[in-house]
């Protein structure tokens, strides 16, 4: 019995080691990824129509579909590209949650939409639950159909891409082809909310 218990502990330790190794490898890939050039604005018609029926949100610990009209009156949408396996993402997400809780009630025209870079629905759902993400997400099964939204996201995560209701890019986590991080988008949002945005940012 003692030998069996030792064997079980050894197997658990090995499984934990492999899981940690896989996580660290993911972090290395994320940090070493070369920024992708930012392409032209994506022409989607309206974001609300493009994502109609394809949004989910965490409710009472489980994902449920979001009302089709949830984005109908949103003029500023920040797509959040992130993943549970990404260490920098897990560090930034709580900051984004705090920002959202401050900004969203005062600016009903603003919304964040999570675009998961997770490898499975299970890890996406776990990530959303663990971080208490209060915003909607694109249904995991629909992500491949919505890849056009990632055109301006680049290869580094965490990444935010701020667009207007038609999909016109207002701000992103890149300066040209250089990844500078999602904080840049939050700073641009603050400028817009404060009415101090440049003509380029304020153009709707």
Question: Do β-strands 159-163 and 76-82 pair in parallel, antiparallel, or remain unpaired?
Answer: antiparallel
pLDDT at 40: 42
Comparing 20 with 80, the larger pLDDT belongs to: 80
Is residue 133 within 8 Å of residue 114, measured between CB atoms? Answer: yes
Q: Summarize the confidence of residues 97-105 as an average pLDDT.
A: 96
Cα-trace Rg, the chain: 19
Comparing 23 with 125, the larger pLDDT belongs to: 125
Indicate the angle between helix axes 2-32 and 87-106, nearest 10 degrees.
70
Give the start-end residues of each E strand in the chain. 55-59, 62-65, 76-82, 110-116, 137-138, 159-163, 169-172, 174-175, 178-179
User: How many whole angstroms separate alpha carbon 39 and alpha carbon 167?
Assistant: 13
Sequence ranges of the domains in the chain: 47-202
pLDDT at 63: 93
Question: Which helix (H) or strand (E) segment is 3 a member of?
Answer: helix 2-32
CATH 3.40.30.10, applies to 47-202: yes
Comparing 117 with 43, the larger pLDDT belongs to: 117
- Token pair 């009630």 is found at 105
Comparing 20 with 14, the larger pLDDT belongs to: 14
User: How many whole angstroms separate alpha carbon 153 and alpha carbon 200?
Assistant: 19
Q: Which residues pair with 114 in a beta bridge?
A: 80, 137
pLDDT at 20 over 70: no
pLDDT per position as a tens digit, 24-76: 455 444 444 444 433 444 445 689 999 999 999 999 888 999 988 889 889 99
pLDDT at 45: 62
> What's the whole-model pTM score?
0.76
The top-scoring range by mean pLDDT among 5-9, 21-25, 180-184, 194-198 is 180-184
pLDDT at 153 over 60: yes
């Amino acid at each position: 019995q003692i030998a069996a218990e030792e064997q079980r502990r050894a197997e658990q330790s090995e499984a934990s080691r492999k899981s940690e190794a896989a996580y660290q490898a993911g972090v290395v890939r994320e940090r070493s990824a070369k920024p992708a050039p930012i392409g032209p604005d994506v022409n989607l018609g309206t974001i609300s129509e493009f994502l109609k029926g394809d949004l989910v949100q965490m409710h009472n610990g489980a994902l449920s579909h979001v009302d089709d009209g949830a984005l109908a009156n949103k003029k500023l949408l920040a797509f959040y590209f992130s993943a549970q396996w990404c260490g920098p993402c897990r560090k930034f997400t709580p900051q984004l949650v705090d920002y959202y809780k401050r900004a969203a009630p005062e600016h009903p025209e603003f919304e964040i939409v999570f675009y998961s870079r997770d490898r499975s629905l299970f890890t996406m759902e776990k990530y959303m639950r663990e971080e208490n993400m209060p915003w909607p997400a694109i249904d995991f099964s629909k992500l491949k159909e919505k890849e056009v939204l990632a055109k301006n996201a680049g290869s580094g995560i965490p990444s935010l891409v701020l667009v207007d209701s038609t999909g016109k890019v207002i701000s992103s986590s890149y300066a040209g082809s250089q990844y500078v991080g999602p904080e840049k988008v939050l700073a641009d949002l603050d400028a817009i909310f404060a009415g101090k945005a440049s003509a380029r940012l304020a153009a709707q």
